[in-house]
Amino acid sequence: MTLHTPAYFVILITLLNSVACTRTTPKHTAPTRSTPNTSSHTPDQVTKSHTLPNHIRRGVCLAHNWQNGGTQGYGTQASLDTLTHLESIGATWVSITPFGWMDSAHSTTIKGEHIDPHMLPAGGETQERIEAVIKQAQQKDFKVMLKPHIWIHGGLWRGEIAFDSDEQWAKWWENYSDFTIHYAHIAERLHVESLVLGVELVSAVKQHPEHMLQLIQDVRKVYSGELTYSANWDENVPDKVWRNLDAIGVQLYPPLSNNPEPTVQELQHALRPHLEAWSSLGERLDRPVLITEVGYKSAPTAVSKPFEWPEHLPESARIKNEQLQAHAYDALLSEIPQHQHIHGLFLWKYFTNPVTDEEGVWGFCPRGKLAEDVIKKAFQ
């Protein structure tokens, strides 16, 4: 779709300024400040996890930095340097995220480069950048998961897309299929190992699983790699959908504890029923389970509200707490090997720009924090 008016372009820029993250709210640069770590735990108390079994994918979600025209984003020297860093901590997979945009949760139109290859300003996640970073990852011997996302203007959650009629739903699914198949062609051409057919599309899949089944069939006509869907952590996807996919995917963000200083054991115990449920589903349906996204902030709400964006934290919670983040990762990486049908995880997140201040020091990125030592021990 051609950009016809300056007003539309302004809206597009606003959207781009919000898509450096992919959860439920728009992303803005949070002010960085140095604050004390209030946890009483010491670094040597966060080393419980052991090396993950070889069959478990060691993945990282690699996020594009759009600031300054994307000069430190996908396909740049910065992203190549970050891939080198991820290689050094033992990561073997990366997920790459292109976007499609909706004006509202009730719009049947999905805008993106599948419609107009010149829609995005150069600083965004353009197709050229997506292809460049995939090639960089392959150059470093990473395997790649391509994970197209829908972003709704204003940061509304894609799990709450809603329409009044089956006709509107059918139109939305038609447009969503065009968006997805566009990236399926790219994935096939670049020999990408895994493709995600949807992320947290709770309402869409629940109300019209037949459209997801048709999408799976259509994508298989053009893409020969692994197909999965990234369900929300509490989403009940119909078995018939999972049976037509190669892997079960889950975005794992359940609340774990309101204790401000939980032990690793407490967090591990809280994670266990969630991992058991997904692993049991994988066993019943004979499918591997992939945690397509999981992450913890280095903030006091890391485990009470793991899904909450750093910029939405109240002022009282904007406190750097590396110990709590490290404890959460320690619990996760210690518990995963106990569930035999969980075959991989992708950690949210590392930025292409190693010195970005986009999230603030209490954000998700574990680079240079205590959590990275825990991750490195488990990954290597």
Measured at the alpha carbon of residue 310, what is the angle toward residues 78 and 279, in degrees to the nearest 5? 85
Range from 20-34, 37-51, 161-175, 329-343 carrying the lowest mean pLDDT? 20-34
In this prediction, residue 48 carries a pLDDT of 65
Q: Which residue has the higher pLDDT, 45 or 171?
A: 171
In this prediction, residue 25 carries a pLDDT of 34
What average pLDDT is seen over the chain?
Answer: 89
| pLDDT > 60? residue 276 | yes
| pLDDT > 50? residue 40 | no
Closest CA to 56 of 350, 279, 211: 279
Give the list of residues 6+ apart from residue 70 with CB closer than 8 angstroms, or none: 64, 76, 122, 123, 124, 129
Task: State pTM to two decimals.
Answer: 0.88
Please report, for residues 23, 115, 161, 168, the alpha-carbon distance to residue 109 in angstroms, rounded to integers and kept in the order given: 20, 11, 12, 10
Residues 193, 226 contacting (CB under 8 angstroms)? yes
| pLDDT > 70? residue 6 | no
- Domain membership of residue 33 (yes or no) is no
Q: 135 preceded by cis ω (within 30°)?
A: no
In this prediction, residue 121 carries a pLDDT of 80
| pLDDT > 80? residue 47 | no
What is the mean predicted confidence (pLDDT) over 207-233?
A: 98
In this prediction, residue 69 carries a pLDDT of 92
Q: Which domain holds residue 169?
A: 6-28+41-379
- Domain membership of residue 45 (yes or no) is yes
In this prediction, residue 49 carries a pLDDT of 67
Encoding tokens for residue 81?
Answer: 């340097």
| pLDDT > 90? residue 41 | no
- Domain membership of residue 35 (yes or no) is no
Q: Which residue has the higher pLDDT, 15 or 286?
A: 286
How far apart, in whole angstroms, are the C-alpha atoms of residue 114 and residue 15? 17
What CATH number is attached to the domain comprising 272? 3.20.20.80
How far apart, in whole angstroms, are the C-alpha atoms of residue 307 and residue 293? 11
- Domain membership of residue 176 (yes or no) is yes
Entry field: residues in the chain: 380
Please report the DSSP string for 143-210 in residue order: EEEE--EEEETTTB-GGG---SSHHHHHHHHHHHHHHHHHHHHHHHHTT-SEEEEEES-HHHHHH-HH
The tens digit of pLDDT for each residue in 253-270 reads 999 999 999 999 999 999
The tens digit of pLDDT for each residue in 103-138 reads 999 999 999 999 988 888 878 999 999 999 999 999
Which pLDDT band, with edges at 50, 70 and 90, does 154 fall under? Answer: confident
Encoding tokens for residue 229?
Answer: 């869907």
Please report the DSSP string for 25-61 in residue order: S---PPPP----------GGGS----PPPTTSEEEEE
Number of domains the chain is built from: 1
- Domain membership of residue 158 (yes or no) is yes
Closest CA to 226 of 198, 249, 199, 247: 247
How far apart, in whole angstroms, are the C-alpha atoms of residue 317 and residue 72? 29
Encoding tokens for residue 152?
Answer: 């709704």
- Domain membership of residue 1 (yes or no) is no
| pLDDT > 90? residue 100 | yes
Residues 209, 172 contacting (CB under 8 angstroms)? no
How far apart, in whole angstroms, are the C-alpha atoms of residue 139 and residue 211? 36
In this prediction, residue 32 carries a pLDDT of 30
The tens digit of pLDDT for each residue in 136-150 reads 999 999 999 999 999
